[in-house]
Amino acid sequence: MSGFGIVLLAAVAALVPLTGLPAFLVVLCAAVVGAVVGIAGGSIPPNLLVALPSRLVNLLENDLLQALPLYVLVGALMNQLRVADSMFSATVRVLRGSRPAPAVAGLTLGALLGPMSGSVGASVVALSRAVAPRLAAGGMAAPARHALVAVASTLGVVVPPSLVLILLADGMLNAHYVAVHVTHRTERIVNTQDVFRGAMVPAALFLLLCLGVAAWESRRAGAPSRSSATELARADALIALAALALIVGLLFGVATGRFLPVEGAAAGAFVLFMVALAGGRLGGGVLGSVLVDVMATTGALFSLLVAATSFTLVFRALGSDKLLEAWITTAPLSPTLLTVLVLVVIGLSAVALDAFEIIFVMVPILIPPLLMRVPDASWVAVLVLLALQTSYLLPPMGYALVMTRGVLGGNVSARATARHVAPYVVAQLLVLGSVLAFPALVHLGQPAESRAAADGAAMSDEEVGRRLQEMLAPPPEVDDSSAGTAAVK
C-alpha cells in the first residue's frame, strides 16, 4: 500500500495541468482518495483522521504565515499607486541615451517588485502590464520582450524576502527538524534568516549576470527604432523615489534580520496605505477591490496549504514516506549526486506546478530524506530555489515562458523566444553550478552560529523546546509518526 502514495503524488503532478482545476482541489481530492483506499485496505486506522483538525489549527497558528496577506497587500497597493510605471520611467530617464536602458529597467523592476507579487504567474501579469508596452515603445522585438518579461518574473523566486522564500524557509525548517529527529543528530535547526541570507549572494550574482546579458543583447540588437524615454512628472518621480526607498529598506531589513518578515510587511503595507489614502488613490470602490484581490490571493495560498497538509498526512499514513526515505537514504550515490537527482525531480515538477504547489506538496516529501544524507539545509534550500527558477525558464515548457506567451499573446514562435532566453538560462546554470560546487557561497556573510549549522553544531535547548512545542504530538495508533506529523505544518 505504500506504493499507492507515490501513485497519488504522480497523479497530482499530472492532473493539475491536464484538468485545469485549482491545484488545491486536485491535492485535496487525492488526499480523500488515499484516505478512502487506505481505510478500506486496512492501512490507515479511521481514527487517524481525527488528528487532521489539530494539524490544521497548529498550521494556521504559525506566526510567519501572517506575513503572506501583508505582502500581497503591499503588492496590490503598489499596483494601485502605479509604482511600477513610475519606477520604470524613472530608471529609463536616469539611463537615457543608453540602448540597454529599457531592458535594465525591466529587470530591475522585476527584482524589486517580484518578491511581493505572490508567484511567478502574478509577476508575469504585473510586468506584462507595466514593462512590456514600454519595451515595445522602445523598439524591442517581440521575442526579446517575451524573454525579458519571463526572466524578470522569476527574480522574485530568489530575491529575499519573497513569498516563495518565506514559505520555503518554513518548509525547510520543518524538513530539517524531521531529518535531525530521525537520524538523532544534534545540530542547529535552520531558520528563516539562514535561508534569506543564504539566497542573497546567489540572487545578486544572477541579477548581475542578467543585467550584463540584457545590456549585451540590447547593444547587439542595435539602436532602437524609437525612444522609450518619456517625460517624468514630479509626482511620478517622488513616487518612484519613495517606493524605491521603501522596497530596498524592506528587502534589506528582512533579509539581514533587522526585523521579522511580518514586521516588515506590516510597516510597508501601512506606509503604502497612508500614501494611497493621502493621494486619493483609494476612493470609491477602489479600496474594496484591492481588499478583494488580497483576500482572493491569500485564500488561494491558504487553501493549497490546507490541502497539502491533508495530503501529506495521508501520504505518511500509507507508509509512502518510509518507502521514499528508503530509496533516497540507501541510494548508492554520493550526497552531491543525490542532491542533483532530487533537484531534477523538483525541476521536472515545476513544468506542471507553481512554486507554492511544489513547496507545499513536494518539499515535505522529498527534502526530509535528502537532509538525512545532506545536513546543510541552507545549501539545499538555495539549490531548490535556483532549480525552480531554472526550470521556469527552460524552453519550450518553462512555466514562466508559457505564462508570458499566454498573457502577452502575439504571433511569436517558441523557437524565437528560446533563442533570446538562452543566454539567461546559461547564466542561471552558471549560478546553480557554482552554488552546487561551492556551498560556501550560501554561507557568505552569515553569523558564525548560522555557518556552524552546516558543520553539525549542537542545537540549543531553547531551539529544541520551541520546535517541540510547535510540533503536533503523533496519534498513538501510528508507529513512529512524529516525524511525519512535523514535516508539514
Residues 6+ apart with CB under 8 A from 326: none
Sign of CA dihedral 286, 240, 210, 447: negative
Task: Say how far apart CA 388 and CA 342 lie, in whole Å.
Answer: 12
In a domain, 365, yes or no: yes
The reported pLDDT for the residue numbered 488 is 35
Domain membership flag for residue 43: no
Instruction: State the burial class of residue 330 (Cβ atoms within 10 Å of its Cβ: 0-12, 13-18, 19+).
Output: exposed
Residue 31 lies in a domain: no
CA atoms within 13 A on the CB side of 438: 8
Residue closest to 137 by CA, chosen among 51, 49, 213, 227 = 227
Within-domain flag for 38 = no
DSSP type of residue 351: T
CB 92 within 8 A of CB 227: no
If you count DSSP H runs as helices and E runs as strands, how many of each does the chain have, helices first?
Answer: 24, 0
Beta strands in 41-109 (DSSP E): none
How many whole angstroms separate alpha carbon 13 and alpha carbon 348?
10
Asked whether residue 367 is domain-assigned, the answer is yes
> Long-range contacts made by residues 332-337, C-beta under 8 angstroms, separation at least 24?
335/373, 335/374, 336/436
- Count of all residues that appear for the chain in the document: 489
Q: Which of 187, 151, 120, 184 is nearest to 378 (CA)?
A: 187
Residue carrying the nine cell digits 561551492: 438
Report the predicted TM-score, pTM, of the whole model to 2 decimal places: 0.76
- The pLDDT of residue 427 is 92
**Opening angle at CA 271, ends 89 and 252, nearest 5:** 75
- Residue 381 falls inside a structural domain: yes
202 within some domain: yes
Q: Cα 19 to chain center, whole Å? A: 23
Cell of 357: 504547489
Do the domain assignments include residue 27?
A: no
Nearest to 224 by CA among 100, 357, 130: 100
Residues 6+ apart with CB under 8 A from 427: 206, 209, 210, 212, 213
Output the tens digit of pLDDT for each of the chain's 489 residues. 678 888 888 888 788 777 778 888 888 999 899 889 888 888 888 887 777 887 777 777 777 777 778 877 877 777 777 777 777 777 777 776 567 778 888 888 777 777 666 567 777 777 777 778 877 877 788 888 888 888 888 887 887 767 788 888 888 888 898 888 888 887 888 888 888 888 888 988 998 998 898 888 877 765 444 444 455 566 667 767 777 777 777 767 776 667 777 787 788 788 878 877 776 777 767 788 888 888 887 888 788 888 888 888 888 888 887 888 788 878 888 888 989 999 988 888 777 677 777 888 888 888 988 998 888 999 999 999 899 888 888 877 777 887 788 777 777 787 888 888 899 999 999 999 999 999 989 988 665 555 554 554 444 445 444 444 444 444 444 444 433 333 333
398 grid coordinates: 518553462
Residue 87 φ then ψ, to 5°: -70, -35
The answer to whether 395 and 414 have CB atoms below 8 angstroms apart is: yes
**Structural domain of residue 316, as residue ranges?**
52-487
Positive or negative, the CA dihedral 243, 211, 256, 366 is positive
Burial of 341 (0-12, 13-18, 19+ CB in 10 A): middle
Q: How many domains is the chain partitioned into structurally?
A: 1
Position 446 scores a pLDDT of: 63
Q: Are 73 and 294 in contact (CB under 8 A)?
A: yes
